[in-house]
Amino acid sequence: MSAPTLSPTTATGTAATTRRRPRWRASTLAVVIPSALVLLTLLICALFAEALSPYDPLQQSLMDALQGPSAKHWLGTDDLGRDVLSRMIHGSRIAVIAAAEATGLAVLIGVPIGLFIGYRGGWWDWITMRAVEAIVSIPGIMVAIVIIAILGSGLHKAMFALGILYSTAFLRLARSVVLTEREEVYVKSARVIGASPRRILIRHIFLNIAPPLIVQVTLTVGAVLLAEAGLSFVGIGVQPPQASWGTMLNTAAAYMELNAFLAVPPGLAIVVTVLAVNLLGDVLRDSIGRGVRLPAATPPRPRSAAIARKGTAPLPAREDDALRVDGLEVMVSPKGGDPVPVVTDMSFRIAKGETLGLVGESGSGKTVTGLALMGLIGAGGRITAGQVTLDGTDLLQLPPSGLEKARGTDIAMVFQDPTTSLNPAYTVGSQISEVLRIKQGLSRRAAWDRTVELIDRVGIPRPAERARAYPHELSGGMAQRIAIARALSCGPKLLIADEPTTALDVTVQQEILDLFRDLQDEMGMAMLFVTHDLAVAADICDRIAVMYCGEVVETAPVEQLFRDPRHPYTAGLLSAMPHGASGTPPLPVIPGAVPTPGHWPTGCRFAPRCAHAAPGCALPVDLTPGQTTTNAERLTRCIRATDLTLEAAQ
């Protein structure tokens, strides 16, 4: 028994996720309805205890003592022959009073103080928090025992003790919400418009404290019920002959060997009530988005066992292809929804030593494509069609163990945020040498030496020393160099780089791009470079595939794409780039916004935003070389690709 607290992960959830319309799904209702019924029954028993009880709960009848359940006494009798059912019903009143008193007091004491010290800070905060820490470091029951020693025993005094004890939980919750929320940008905005501290606290922050507060109330109610029972059980809570579930268990314990059944009704009543309260709390916590977010369910396997081929005709094979992707389709299940496609009819080639840029805005499916090639879409996503051929092997046909073997050695990946893609718990060197030991079977010693070499190769000064650093001790640029060293440690044939410079400053970005180039010249791997930035793609890529709404809309060698874009979306993106645009505002725009997966038009997906849309655009469009050219390097998904004159970047 001690003050329950929201776990650290839940208490600091950002406010941005708090307001969400709760969606009542069947599984939720299956929890909510029984729980609510239990609590309703409890409340009715508490309110109408006299009317509902068959006997007076205090009426003794020593002749009938310690009987089992019978028609006369449904739940039997206790040591003094009192009717257990009647005592149970009256006990529920005690439970309700106890929960209401202690929780109410805890909220009334804890929340205002927590809000105050959280906002005020300074000495007030320091002293209060030290006192709270002191109280929390005494086992809760001892705190209650000391307070009861001062006040004396009895229901209300015991609940006063519990109220003080649990107020520390509310105090800490309110304080932590204030501390988190006051750093939020919307509070900054409120200060800028001139809202007073009081107004900010009451009108802006307090609204966001309500959801975690409600969850904390349910936790506390459950804890109070258990604590009341415990205190009454050891005889310092509710005093006999008054009927509470805890005192009934006290009696039951004394007569365990004569009538074990006595312990069952009050115990079950406590369990069921606390369970109902806790389950409701869980549902509330999930519905306000502060629980653990589970990965979405994986969409069902496609009906045919073999992964189907569909869409655009296969691209002609080239001699030096390292990677061929044909007709790739990926479906993802959004939370609680049906699977929707996020990548469709995806086909491209990358030659050895070549870099293909996969360029698109958020939601275009470019990152999912990269992960799909690795077999790392994760729960919630599934490849439903297509072939991914790396050096002659179809990766999608490999068993999981085969794919696992290929990862790291044949195909490797560098991620966007270097500070989160390295494990914070291990030194950077150990994370590289681990790969070398497992994938290449090097000895510990040899792996470490090679690690230091690799770290040196990616341009980090003092490599032997830096190998022993933890990720958080490195700057973003240095961490990304480490991630690159690890990805290339086993000399993969294909390197997938997912926005590897987006999180970095522009001068660091330039250094990392140079590093990619140098390493590719040296090692000759094929590279798939995923980015939203056309300028970065222009710098690093040989060819570019532009993605929009899950499909490639145009693919071309980099010079041709920039000089002569064929797809209106490509042209639009180019002219919207800051250095592409000319002159002063108004700057060129693509009207509207990118539709989210599941809301794509059925025909050409860009048509609703396209200035050149024609009636024929209402039908799905294939990626084709167009009529005038047979150049397989140059494909466009637009029925007007050949008759439009689009502005080039320059």
Nearest to residue 309, comparing CAs of 347, 338, 340, 348? 347
Nearer to other proteins, 312 or 501 (CB): 501
* Residue 71 lies near other proteins (rule: CB under 8 A): no
Q: What are phi and psi of 481, to 5 degrees?
A: -60, -40
* Residue 29 lies near other proteins (rule: CB under 8 A): no
Q: What are phi and psi of 7, to 5 degrees?
A: -65, 155
Among 33, 43, 253, 611, binds other proteins (CB under 8 A): 253
Nearer to other proteins, 582 or 627 (CB): 582
**Can you name the residues that pair with 351 across neighbouring β-strands?**
321
Give residues 433-452 in contact with other proteins (rule: CB under 8 A): 434-435, 438-439
Give residues 392-421 in contact with other proteins (rule: CB under 8 A): 404-409, 412-413, 415-417, 420-421
Nearer to other proteins, 29 or 207 (CB): 207
Nearest to residue 467, comparing CAs of 477, 112, 481? 481
Give residues 113-172 in contact with other proteins (rule: CB under 8 A): 126, 130-131, 133-142, 145-150, 152
Give residues 190-229 in contact with other proteins (rule: CB under 8 A): 190-196, 199, 204, 207-208, 222, 226, 229
Nearer to other proteins, 254 or 614 (CB): 254
Nearest to residue 596, comparing CAs of 357, 382, 365? 365
Among 79, 282, 391, 633, binds other proteins (CB under 8 A): 282
Distance of closest approach, residue 74 Cβ to other proteins, in angstroms: 21
Q: Taking CB under 8 A as the rule, which mask of x and - marks residues 591-610 in contact with other proteins?
A: x-xx----------------
Nearer to other proteins, 108 or 589 (CB): 589
* Residue 1 lies near other proteins (rule: CB under 8 A): yes
* Residue 79 lies near other proteins (rule: CB under 8 A): no
**Can you name the residues that pair with 495 across neighbouring β-strands?**
412, 527
Nearer to other proteins, 149 or 308 (CB): 149
Nearest to residue 289, comparing CAs of 12, 587, 99? 12
């725009």: which residue's tokens?
A: 589
Cα 92 to Cα 119, 273, 376, 545, 617: the distances in Å are 40, 10, 53, 68, 69
The count of other CB atoms within 10 Å of the CB of residue 23 is 9
Q: Hey, what amino acid is at 281?
A: G
- Kindly indicate which of the ranges 87-95, 181-189, 318-326, 390-398 contains the residues binding other proteins, using the contact rule CB under 8 A: 181-189
Q: Helix crossing, 122-136 with 155-181: angle to 10°?
A: 130
Cα 441 to Cα 190, 409, 434, 495, 508: the distances in Å are 58, 12, 10, 21, 34
Distance of closest approach, residue 56 Cβ to other proteins, in angstroms: 26
Rounded to an integer, what distance in angstroms lies between the CA atom of residue 541 and that of residue 531?
11
Among 62, 271, 308, 523, binds other proteins (CB under 8 A): 271
Among 57, 327, 365, 477, binds other proteins (CB under 8 A): 477
Rounded to an integer, what distance in angstroms lies between the CA atom of residue 19 and that of residue 15?
8
Give residues 345-364 in contact with other proteins (rule: CB under 8 A): 361-362
Give residues 489-528 in contact with other proteins (rule: CB under 8 A): 505-507, 509-511, 513-514, 517
What is the DSSP-derived secondary structure letter of residue 564? S
**Can you name the residues that pair with 498 across neighbouring β-strands?**
530
Distance of closest approach, residue 326 Cβ to other proteins, in angstroms: 22
**Can you name the residues that pair with 545 across neighbouring β-strands?**
358, 555
**Which two structure tokens, joined as six digits, stand for 340?**
């929707």
- Kindly indicate which of the ranges 171-179, 344-352, 369-377, 444-452 contains the residues binding other proteins, using the contact rule CB under 8 A: 369-377
Nearer to other proteins, 389 or 431 (CB): 431
Say which residues have a Cβ less than 8 Å from residue 352's Cβ, sequence separation at least 6.
320, 321, 322, 493, 524, 525, 526
Nearer to other proteins, 138 or 214 (CB): 138
* Residue 18 lies near other proteins (rule: CB under 8 A): yes
Distance of closest approach, residue 82 Cβ to other proteins, in angstroms: 19
């080239």: which residue's tokens?
A: 318
Number of amino acids touching other proteins (CB under 8 A): 163
Nearer to other proteins, 17 or 443 (CB): 17
The count of other CB atoms within 10 Å of the CB of residue 391 is 16
Q: What are phi and psi of 225, to 5 degrees?
A: -60, -45
Nearer to other proteins, 385 or 422 (CB): 422
Among 585, 602, 615, 627, binds other proteins (CB under 8 A): 585
